[in-house]
Amino acid sequence: QIATSLEDSCSVLKHSVLLYTPSASETHRETEKTETRCLQRQKRYERKYFSDYELFKTFNPNTD
């Protein structure tokens, strides 16, 4: 549940970056920065909520 809402917020962020950034290279750079921030945030949340990775795997068997 947590991961899904984070992914959603990331795609929303990416979309808004695309809308408000003028040039293509600028957009690419901003999108990458946004993705990195999102991934870092996602990892932080995962560590916070699933500090025990095996426990996380138990609830998310399809996760690699």
Give the chain's radius of gyration (CA, Å): 15
CA distance 42 to 39: 5
List all residues 6 or more positions away from 48 whose beta carbon is below 8 Å from its beta carbon. none
Tens digit of each residue's pLDDT (9 = 90 or more) over 25-56 = 776 777 788 778 878 888 887 777 766 667 76
Tens digit of each residue's pLDDT (9 = 90 or more) over 12-25 = 666 665 565 566 67
- The SS3 assignment for 1 reads coil
Rounded to two decimals, what is the model's pTM? 0.34
Other C-beta atoms lying within 10 Å of the C-beta of residue 17 = 19
